[in-house]
Amino acid sequence: MKKLLIILLKIIVAIFIAIGVFLAIVFTVNIICNKLEKGKIESYGQFVSVDGKNMNVTIQGEGEETVVLLPGYGTAAPALDFKPLVDELSPFYKVVVIEPFGYGLSDVTEKERTIENIVAEIHECLQKLNIDRYTLMGHSIAGIYGLEYVNKYEKEVNAFVGIDSSFPTQGGNDDEFPSEIYKLINKSGFYRMIMKLNSDQLLAPVVDEDTREQIRMLSLKNAFNPNIISEGENFKYNFKAAENYSFPKNLPVIFFLVKDTTDVEGWKVKHEEQIKHSIHGKVMEFEGEHYLHHTKSKEIVENFRSFMEETEKEK
């Protein structure tokens, strides 16, 4: 019996040592890879000084009208993520992709990621670029920030386009954001390991391998950084703040939604309610996933252009 207990004890100790070595390897590999990849990330776009920090922006196309693209929560590299949509829009418009602080190549800011700060920073960025008339086209949580934006700067915005965009009362933001868990997953190196073991974890459009690799490296660089964490911690506040707003009735608004989504109850109905007082409002559904612009960019642009032509005729 004594020998058996000694053997069991040795096995348990060996298991703990193996786990410790495994964790140390994962942690060390992540640190080394982060340093190596930092030099491999390629610059794109241009920096705009906003509140004393660098905000990265890409501009493509030379159309007379401007479309400003805003990303969904946690999109690692918005300018690269929006590439299919930019390519479809740029023959007709000047297309501006803004990478908020903590996203893409933009700096990380010390300011809380409240709806007020985010909207003010986006506006300052456009002001610095001398862009004062534009359509806002936003994915996911940009539907929340967009509500405050179009009310604060109504005279500057030609239209709002939501790509499977959020609405204030959709729920799911009452639970405490698991900041510490996400920080641990990131710092420990487990996020990198998960990405390595399951390539489906990488949210990216159909692009060439070099661009996909850039998105992968930026996903690891920006994952759960202080701004992404702060934005998550402010979900409840930001969604609640947006309840005070509705779209101005004279502002053209069109939503492109995923058809028959089961993620949020009443997805289409709630978006229809958002535009019930709009003179020019429309909801369209497409088969696809939440990142609708990855697969339906052509359809989005075709229908957006038709919608804007219709609103012009009705004026």
Question: pLDDT digits over 176-218, tens only?
Answer: 899 999 999 998 988 999 888 887 778 899 899 999 999 999 9
**pLDDT of amino acid 9:** 82
Token digits of residue 300: 């989005």
Q: What percent of the chain has pLDDT over 90?
A: 76
The answer to whether residue 3 scores a pLDDT higher than 80 is no
The per-residue pLDDT for 122 is: 98
- Between CA 241 and CA 93 the distance in angstroms is 32
Given pLDDT bands bounded at 50, 70 and 90, which one contains residue 23? confident
Single-letter amino acid code for the residue at 245? Y
- Span 265-294, mean pLDDT? 94
Looking at every residue in the chain, the average pLDDT score rounds to: 93
* pLDDT number for residue 200: 74
Nearest Cα to Cα of residue 125 among 104, 84, 97: 97
Is the predicted pLDDT of residue 1 greater than 70, yes or no?
A: no
The torsion angles phi and psi of 78, rounded to 5 degrees, stand at -50, -40
> Does the pLDDT at position 289 exceed 90?
yes
How many residues are listed for the chain in this entry?
A: 315
- In the predicted structure, residue 50 carries a pLDDT above the cut 80: yes
Rounded to an integer, the average pLDDT of 113-132 is: 98
User: What is the side-by-side order of every strand in the sheet holding 281-286?
Assistant: 46-50, 53-60, 94-99, 66-70, 134-139, 157-163, 253-258, 281-286
pLDDT category at 236 given cuts 50, 70, 90 is very high
For the stretch 155-170, pLDDT in tens is 999 999 999 999 999 9
- What is the model's pLDDT at position 202? 86
Lowest mean pLDDT among 52-66, 82-96, 180-194, 284-298: 180-194
Above 80 in pLDDT, residue 220? yes
